[in-house]
Amino acid sequence: MTGETRLGRFGWKANQPTLRQQVAHALVADMGVTTTLYRQEQGRDAPGEPEVSQDDLDLLMIYMRLLAVPKRRDWEAPEVQRGHAVFRALGCAACHVDTPQETGLVEGFDEVSRQVIYPYTDLLLHDLGEGLADGRPDGLATGSEWRTPPLWGIGLVESVNRHTRFLHDGRARSLEEAVLWHGGEAAAAQGKYVRLPREDRAALLAFLKSL
Ligand code: HEC
């Protein structure tokens, strides 16, 4: 934490500039666990010794950084290929960018440096409309702005996490519901999805499941 306003890459509202800060914030805000970055729990008395040491936080960072992205499945299947074409035609890729991106240099981590990746996100904030607004501005994000979440690995949420809850508050019970909630800057893409023939909708969902 430097007191400067920096562009965030992590968090639903893009409000965390580094992975370390995102993890330390999640530890304290979601689990009430203090670290050297956040020595005090919100609403609690005086800051004490951090519950997670600097060394353990460093180890946690190594683990998080080296977590691999799952391999795509069935990407050659004709239905999946068609779904990708539909994804592009609807304009989903305007935010969930489907072109290759290259990672920067991560000191000490050759495995993840200068790698070509397909995260399916621009990592930017977009206004997704009143329907998805939480009315809680955060950093420079308004109540209806959200950072485009990466879609890589989304097809495995069900088998790995054993749930199919999507969007920032888990309101969507399936990938299709997640698409249907899109509004604001994504209203045009959502409108086109609704008007698709049934086979094209199925193909788009098959594509999402392959990620
Ligand atoms: C204007 C940018 C934009 C466009 C266009 C867009 N999305 Fe999104 N998408 C987002 C944002 C931002 C979220 C997060 C919204 C939230 O959580 O409330 C999101 C969430 C999602 C999610 C849920 C991800 C998760 O981890 O919960 C899926 C699936 C998804 N989009 C698919 C699509 C598809 C398919 C299309 C095209 C029909 C599309 N999106 C078009 C910005 C966009």
Q: State the distance from the centre of ligand 1 to the C-alpha of 145, rounded, in angstroms.
A: 12
Nearest CA to ligand 1 atom 30: 179
pTM of the model: 0.90
Pocket test for ligand 1, best of 128, 175, 201, 207 (most atoms within 8 A of CB): 128
User: Where in the sequence of the chain do the CATH 1.10.760.10 domains occur?
Assistant: 78-210
Provide the CATH number for the domain formed by 78-210 in this structure: 1.10.760.10
Place of tokens 């609690």: 44
Q: State the distance from the centre of ligand 1 to the C-alpha of 81, rounded, in angstroms.
A: 19
Place of tokens 């072109």: 99
pLDDT, one tens digit per residue, over 98-123 is 999 999 998 889 999 999 999 999 99
Cβ pair 13, 148 in contact under 8 A? no
pLDDT, one tens digit per residue, over 59-104 is 999 999 899 889 999 999 999 999 999 999 999 999 999 999 999 9
The strand pair at 145-147 and 125-127 is best described as: antiparallel
Structure tokens at 97: 């960018």
Pocket test for ligand 1, best of 95, 125, 168 (most atoms within 8 A of CB): 95
